[in-house]
Amino acid sequence: MNVPVQAVAVWGKIAPSHSITAIMITDDQQTIVTGSQEGQICLWDLSSQLKISSKEILFGHTASVTCLAKAREFEKQPYVVSATENGEMCVWNVASGQCIENTKLPYRYLSLTT
């Protein structure tokens, strides 16, 4: 049985390292999604005044994130696909912050398109 697990990160004055390796913005231009060398996915709020604030950090990869793409019909289902240099791929529900599907293939992903 595949049960989704959601990790929560709390930090003090110093945030964890997040060396950005992939970036995308949602169609509504309110959320920026970044992938990192450390394997994390971060969600950032983008205000109408163009101020960026951290929203959520997601864990699910063990290698550097190489690419991100929104899933088709993002407006109906806010899903983002992430892939890593060691072949991991996750489908994330941006609204809930959960990895709803994952797989590992013997490929190194350099780009994703929908």
What are the structural domains of the chain? 20-104 (2.40.10.480)
Question: What would the pLDDT profile of 29-76 be if each residue is shown by its tens digit?
Answer: 888 999 999 999 999 988 888 888 888 889 889 999 999 998 877 777
Of 74, 71, 40, 68, the residue nearest 54 (C-alpha): 40
Other C-beta atoms within 10 Å of 42: how many? 20
Written as six digits, the tokens of 101 are 């599907």
Q: What pTM value is reported for the model? A: 0.79
* 83 pLDDT above the threshold of 80: yes
In angstroms, the CA 6 to CA 43 distance is 14
Most confidently modeled range among 12-26, 56-70, 98-112 = 56-70
The number of CA neighbours under 13 Å toward the Cβ of 84 is 24
